[in-house]
Copies of this chain bind each other. A is one copy, B any other.
Amino acid sequence: MDASLLAALRERQPLIHCISNIVTANDCANLLLAVGASPMMAQAPEEMEEISAAASAVVLNTGTPSEEKFAACLRAGRTACRAGIPVVLDPVGVGASRWRLGHVQALLKEVHPAILRVNYGEAAALLRGGQAERGVDSLPPLERNAAAAATALARVLSTVVLLSGTEDVVTDGETVVTVSGGSGYMRSVTGAGCMLSVLCGGFSAVAATPLEGAVCAARFWKQAAALAEQDAAGRGMGSFRVALFDAASRLSLEKE
């Protein structure tokens, strides 16, 4: 992890506008505060332009979606793109329904994310959905190959993809960075991915490029998870989650 980016985050305290979901909004806000950023959680379509325009990064999380929330994502995303503010898109469970996939595809036609944060299933759904729709043959077969899926998606969408898993893959379609470490317990933390996405927002607000921001976020989160596993030492998932926030705030302070 780049300690100077973390120091910059704590110093500048950038405003990160997050469209969130009812499951992880609290965790996402607390994590941003723990690393020194200023979260603004808001999702009324009526106020998206004003709020996004004032932010240093915008994170669109489409978990527990609704028609209204997709409308808000569209307005927030458009505003940010026009103003050159980095957008992070987290298309939570995009393959869960045709309605969800259709809305995310429509969003991607209007909003160009600086970073797309997905897991393998979401990457596959986006590639498959696009393939079905556009009849493209050039996409890789959807074997369980995270690097291939991330690279394909990064090229199709001309964006940086952070595909998280046991090993994270970050790529702009050319350069591929893998980030390992972390903790197996993270699979049992709801919103581990949502939280990584808001970290992408935080770091992309201070990084030179989206790739740098995404790599830094992935490294930070893997490091926090590894520390939390040491701290919680088998006490259970409640203690692990507490230790995760402890680690995130301590990592930040140690780098000052």
- Interface residues, chain A, CB within 8 Å of chain B? 20-27, 29-30, 33-34, 39-44, 46-47, 50-51, 54, 63-68, 93, 96-100, 187-191, 235-239, 241-250
Query: Closest 10 CB pairs between A and B?
Result: A236-B246, A238-B245, A47-B97, A29-B190, A238-B242, A237-B249, A238-B246, A50-B97, A46-B99, A33-B188
Q: List 25 A-B contacts (CB under 8 A).
A: A20-B23, A21-B22, A21-B41, A22-B22, A23-B41, A24-B26, A26-B27, A29-B190, A29-B191, A33-B189, A33-B237, A34-B188, A41-B63, A42-B64, A42-B93, A46-B99, A47-B100, A50-B96, A50-B97, A50-B98, A236-B243, A236-B245, A237-B248, A238-B245, A238-B248
* A39 neighbours in B (Cβ, 8 Å): 190
The dominant DSSP class at the A interface is helix
Known contacts A26-B24, A46-B67, A244-B238; is A93 also within 8 Å of B40 by CB? yes
* A27 neighbours in B (Cβ, 8 Å): 26
* A236 neighbours in B (Cβ, 8 Å): 34, 243, 245-250
Docked-complex contact B244 and A241, CB < 8 angstroms: no
Docked-complex contact B188 and A249, CB < 8 angstroms: yes
* A43 neighbours in B (Cβ, 8 Å): 64
